[in-house]
Amino acid sequence: MKGLHSIRTKITAVTISSIILMMIVVTVVGVMAIRSIGTTSSEQLLLLLCESGQKNLNTYLGDVEQEVETISAYVEADLVALDDESLQAHLDRVSAFFRRVVTRTSGIMTYYYRIDPAVSSDVKGFWFVKSEDSGFAEHKVTDISLYDIEDTSKLVWFTVPRATGKAVWLPPYITDNLGARVISYNIPVYLDKQFVGVIGIELDYTFMAEIVDNITLYKNGYAFVNDPDGLIVYHPFIDVLSTEQPAIPDGIAGADTIVRYKYDGVNKMLACLPLLNGDRLNVCVPLDEISEGWKIWVTAIIGAFGVLLVGLVIFLLNYTGHITKPLVDLTRVAEQIDEGNYDHNLNYKGNDEIGILTRTFSRVTMHLKKYITDLNDLAYADALTSLHNKGAFDACMNKIQTRMDDDNDDKLEFAVCIFDCNRLKKINDSNGHDKGDIYLKETAAIICEVFDHSPVFRIGGDEFAALLLDSDYKNKDNLLKLFDEKCSEKRTNEADDWEKIDVARGIAIFDPAEDRSVNDVIRRADKNMYENKFYSKRLG
């Protein structure tokens, strides 16, 4: 019996030692896996937010480029002679065409067509400036003859396109006479290889504020924009209107998409992507906030393993052989988690310490899986309205496009409805952006209430979209009427200005005979929305 007791003691001691070692390994592997997963997921989320902001900003800048290039094509086709009479008639036609084109895009501060003094000393061109009350009004033009046009550091909107001979985005500068910081897109004009002048559009650089301000992550994450020289163009917490623009923090000026750096004593992670005009969009967040989530889980797992290990040691003193099989199962599951597989099945149902360990391990894994899933879901959620965001809208439209491309799917029926909030800028300017946010949330609530069987997306600062399928598609006319009625009720109530919902909407129904892509449907819906907006303004 004494020998048997000695062997049992040795087996128990070896078993306990082995289990202790195994639990340490499992804990370390689990901690490393959770840390790796948490960091990778945060990097992916940061990059997704940056890509979404990049897409929104590039879409806007691309629209501006397209408009200036459209006007440039018209200018070159219309320009036939350089005598003063022909040139003035040409300018009158271009001015009318310019006005029709630029009204389609918000954020434009000025537009112009300036003639080289070497071409004509009397016909100087035109310069229209946006006013709050009366739209674009003609402004006295800058006298180009007072400048050395060979010096590209002065009068940059004219001298740089003249010197380069090609379309160019200019970095932010203070526009003459207005004293406002702008960015501009300019194209030189030629007639038979002779330089005639420059056409261009100047944008108030704060047009990007709404897009950039909506890019937030965790508690203290935010986005900002810098120019190619490393100077900050827009920052939600820094006043960059002064002539001395602040420089970006040390350590982030490079080609890396994901950067870790230190600013004001805080370690941060940043995702940066280039914009169409040469600027860079940056989305940053403190590393402490990124690691906070996975550190909580690591602490919980380490604590749980520590408590359970004590119980297992006590249990093993009496039931050495009984715990072998469950521990093998736990080891297998831990290895699966390390490989990224969170779906597992632990069959041990005992009420002893190993049973507790098994159930706790399953719950921790389930919570971890949900946490990672929630992180991924954040990339497609709009922070202000809790609706799906532009990324989710694009993904949904891609799925519809796939069905359209399937020749066998001849029963596809859907409609896209685009909504645009009227008066948002006025509310923001008069009452503050917090009231503008209330206005957007109320608008989102009405859209969701009416189209309650359809996915609803916020696809821009003041723009929403709904995809109508099945019952909402069949009932679309009644739903649009109901939506107009609810908006009308909001406007007629005695309420604050930001609670009076005024929304333009346009719908387009998929026509398989005409629509080759889902973008065709979206464009028609957008066009119908602008027609509705124009009609409403005339009635109002």
| Dist CA 398 CA 393 (whole Å) | 9
186 within 8 A of 161, measured Cβ to Cβ: yes
pLDDT of residue 373: 54
Structure tokens belonging to residue 382: 């709009």
| Dist CA 521 CA 511 (whole Å) | 8
Q: Which pLDDT band holds residue 165 (cuts at 50, 70, 90)?
A: very high
Mean pLDDT of 507-521: 93
311 within 8 A of 356, measured Cβ to Cβ: yes
443 within 8 A of 427, measured Cβ to Cβ: no
Give yes or no for residue 540 having a pLDDT over 60: no
How do residues 479-510 score in pLDDT, each as one tens digit? 999 999 999 888 776 778 888 889 999 999 99
Choose the weakest-confidence range: 10-14, 118-122, 372-376, 494-498: 372-376
Q: Rank 126-135, 299-308, 376-385 by mean pLDDT and report only the highest.
A: 126-135
The better pLDDT of the pair 223, 336 is held by: 223
How do residues 430-439 score in pLDDT, each as one tens digit? 999 999 999 9
pLDDT of residue 341: 67
Q: Which pLDDT band holds residue 375 (cuts at 50, 70, 90)?
A: very low
Q: Rank 175-189, 318-332, 360-374 by mean pLDDT and report only the highest.
A: 175-189
pLDDT of residue 1: 44
pLDDT of residue 117: 94
Length of the chain in terms of residues written: 540
How do residues 79-92 score in pLDDT, each as one tens digit? 999 999 999 999 99
Mean pLDDT of 508-519: 93
Give yes or no for residue 199 having a pLDDT over 50: yes
pLDDT of residue 102: 83
pLDDT of residue 185: 94
How do residues 383-435 score in pLDDT, each as one tens digit? 899 899 999 999 999 999 998 887 656 678 999 999 999 989 999 999 999 99
Which domains, and CATH codes, for the chain? 62-207 (3.30.450.20), 390-539 (3.30.70.270)
Give yes or no for residue 225 having a pLDDT over 50: yes
| Dist CA 76 CA 79 (whole Å) | 5
| Dist CA 61 CA 55 (whole Å) | 10
Choose the weakest-confidence range: 113-127, 366-380, 462-476: 366-380
Give yes or no for residue 537 having a pLDDT over 70: no
Structure tokens belonging to residue 239: 């006043």
Phi, psi of 252 (to 5 degrees): -115, 0
Those residues whose C-beta lies under 8 Å from the C-beta of residue 269, and which sit 6 or more positions away, are 42, 43, 46, 258, 259, 260, 284, 285, 287, 290
Helix H or strand E encompassing 479: helix 476-492
pTM: 0.50
3-state secondary structure of 281: strand
Choose the weakest-confidence range: 125-129, 174-178, 192-196, 444-448: 174-178
DSSP 9-69: HHHHHHHHHHHHHHHHHHHHHHHHHHHHHHHHHHHHHHHHHHHHHHHHHHHHHHHHHHHHH
Q: Which pLDDT band holds residue 122 (cuts at 50, 70, 90)?
A: very high
Given the structure tokens 């896996």, which residue do they identify?
A: 33
Which residue type is seen at 88? Q
Tell me the torsion sign for CA atoms 343, 346, 349, 350.
Answer: negative
165 to 183, 377, 426, 518: CA distances (angstroms): 19, 47, 39, 38
Q: What DSSP state is assigned to residue 81?
A: -
Beta bridge partners, 108, equal 203
| Dist CA 293 CA 314 (whole Å) | 33
The edge-to-edge listing of strands for the beta sheet with 194-204 is 135-138, 125-131, 108-115, 194-204, 181-191, 168-174
129 to 102, 202, 233: CA distances (angstroms): 12, 9, 22
Q: Which pLDDT band holds residue 310 (cuts at 50, 70, 90)?
A: confident
Q: What DSSP state is assigned to residue 464?
A: E
Helix H or strand E encompassing 169: strand 168-174
Helix H or strand E encompassing 488: helix 476-492
Provide the H-helix boundaries in 199-352.
Answer: 209-213, 287-316, 324-338
Largest CA distance in the chain: 123
Mean pLDDT of 326-331: 64
Q: Which pLDDT band holds residue 3 (cuts at 50, 70, 90)?
A: very low
The better pLDDT of the pair 345, 513 is held by: 513
